[in-house]
Amino acid sequence: MKTFSCRGCVIPGTGCTSVDIGVNANLELVDKFCYFGDMLSVDGDANVAVENRIRIAWNKFRQLVPLLTIKNISLKVRGRLYCGCVRNSMLHGSETWPVRNENEVAL
């Protein structure tokens, strides 16, 4: 029987890193995990998801900087490019988040 464990995912204070579910298999206990591109956390709030989406949006913005800084492209086209790529990647999946004021400010 092989067991896989992530050194960064040990739940503090419990000393337990996995749960035996029978059939010779263990499930690893983690505080957060990525599910279809969205970060889910144990406490159920959106802080982890918001931080992850902000990071993704900044990476997308850095990829588009060469296009956004071309002077021959109008501001209207640059705005459409920003809204279509950067803002959409940041807000992807946000309709399922329990958003608080500090999350809105961060976004």
Look at residue 24 in the predicted model and tell me its pLDDT: 75
Residues 61 and 21 in one domain: no
**Residues 92, 97, 100, 106, Cα dihedral to 10°:** -30
Q: Are residues 77 and 53 part of one domain?
A: yes
What's the confidence (pLDDT) of residue 72?
92
Query: Residue 90 and residue 85: Cα distance in Å, rounded?
Result: 9
pLDDT at 16: 57
What are the pLDDT digits (tens) for 30-64?
A: 777 777 767 777 777 788 888 888 888 999 999 99
| Same domain, yes or no: 100 and 48 | yes
Is 54 found in the same domain as 22?
A: no
Give residue 89's domain range: 43-106
Number of domains comprising the chain: 2
47 and 91 both lie in a single domain = yes
User: Is residue 36 in a domain?
Assistant: no
Same domain, 26 and 47: no
- Reported as a single tens digit per residue, the pLDDT across 91-105 is 887 777 777 888 888
In order, the DSSP letters of 10-47 are PPTTT---EEE-STT-EEE--SEEEETTEEEETT--SH
One domain, residues 84 and 54: yes
* HSE-up of residue 96 (Cα within 13 Å, Cβ side): 9
> In whole angstroms, what is the distance from residue 93 CA to residue 63 CA?
21
Residue 93 lies in a domain: yes
Residue that is written with structure tokens 């990829």 in the block: 63
Q: Is residue 80 part of a domain?
A: yes
Give the pLDDT confidence score for residue 19 in this predicted structure. Answer: 67
**Are residues 48 and 94 located together in one domain of the fold?**
yes
How much of the chain exceeds pLDDT 70, in percent?
79
If one compares 84 and 35, the residue with the highest pLDDT of the two is 84
